Amino acid sequence: KNEVEQSPQNLTAQEGEFITINCSYSVGISALHWLQQHPGGGIVSLFMLSSGKKKHGRLIATINIQEKHSSLHITASHPRDSAVYICAVAEYGNKLVFGAGTILRVKS
Amino acid sequence: NAGVTQTPKFQVLKTGQSMTLQCAQDMNHEYMSWYRQDPGMGLRLIHYSVGAGITDQGEVPNGYNVSRSTTEDFPLRLLSAAPSQTSVYFCASSSTGLAEAFFGQGTRLTVV
């Protein structure tokens, strides 16, 4: 069993829809990262969480440490949000263990 | 700001050749890491460093060597390339063990 599980693996949405991507992990962690990888391949950090909730523009990330679960929400989705969203957990220091990613496509 | 710079962006090697993937950061970050990304598997940690002179193995270290002689640079050496090392390689850095990670643009390596 993978230490980090993401769902769904693929997601297609209509522009304007509210999107949720889930991440569950099985190990004790010091922090959880949400990353975005665009079709060109570059990886950008969206959030780093160790508790609670963070918001940046239309993106919201939450984490429940007791349930070992995190969600990434995108409000009012737009075609430019189309990308791969990756959850990664830091078990020690910043040694990251990654989920397989969620491929998001937002249609106009 | 340059951030994390990886070179080269693309490379084709023949089996048995050696090469070095370069990674440099200009943010004075102590933590640097190398990952490889393969289809359907997510990124996996190859080697890791928490500061100059200190390195550690990750999940998939075999066939790779690293050193950290300066804070800025963290090169990854392929000792004798194999087709199984065909992958996209990412270097990342962060200021501490509990900080945002910054990634390089990646190196796409093909071993034939």
Residue A92, pLDDT > 80, answer no
pLDDT of residue A91: 79
Q: Do A86 and B58 touch (CB under 8 A)?
A: no
What is the average pLDDT across A86-104? 88
Q: Do A41 and B48 touch (CB under 8 A)?
A: no
Contacts of A65-69 with CB under 8 Å at 24 or more apart are A68/A24, A68/A25, A68/A26, A69/A22, A69/A23, A69/A24, A69/A25
User: What is the least distance, in Å, from the CA of B38 to any CA of chain A?
Assistant: 10
Of A30, A31, A18, A38, the residue nearest A85 (C-alpha) = A38
User: What is the least distance, in Å, from the CA of A77 to any CA of chain B?
Assistant: 24
Residue A51: its H or E element: none
| Cβ-contact B77, B99 below 8 angstroms | no
Q: Do A100 and B41 touch (CB under 8 A)?
A: yes
Q: How far apart are CA A13 and CA A80, in angstroms?
A: 12
pLDDT of residue A93: 66
% of chain A at pLDDT higher than 90: 81
pLDDT of residue B2: 74
Nearest CA in chain B to A31: B98
pLDDT of residue B41: 82
Nearest to B101 among A41, A42, A94 (CB): A94
Nearest CA in chain B to A6: B42
pLDDT of residue A28: 83
pLDDT, greater one: B1 or A40: A40
What average pLDDT is seen over chain A?
93
What is the average pLDDT across B60-89? 97
Helix (H, G, I), strand (E, B) or coil at B80: coil
What is the average pLDDT across B44-55? 95
Residues 58-97 of A with CB under 8 A from B: 86, 88, 90, 92-97
pLDDT of residue B40: 77
What residues of A are in contact with residue B41 (Cβ under 8 Å)? Answer: 100
What residues of A are in contact with residue B35 (Cβ under 8 Å)? Answer: 96, 98
Q: A31-78, pLDDT tens digit by residue? A: 999 999 998 779 999 999 999 999 999 999 999 999 999 999 999 999
For B101, other C-beta atoms within 10 Å of its C-beta total 24
Q: Which amino acid is at B102?
A: F
Interface size A-B, in CB pairs within 8 Å, comes to 69
Residue B99, pLDDT > 80, answer yes
Report angle CA A41, A22, A84 to the nearest 5 degrees. 10
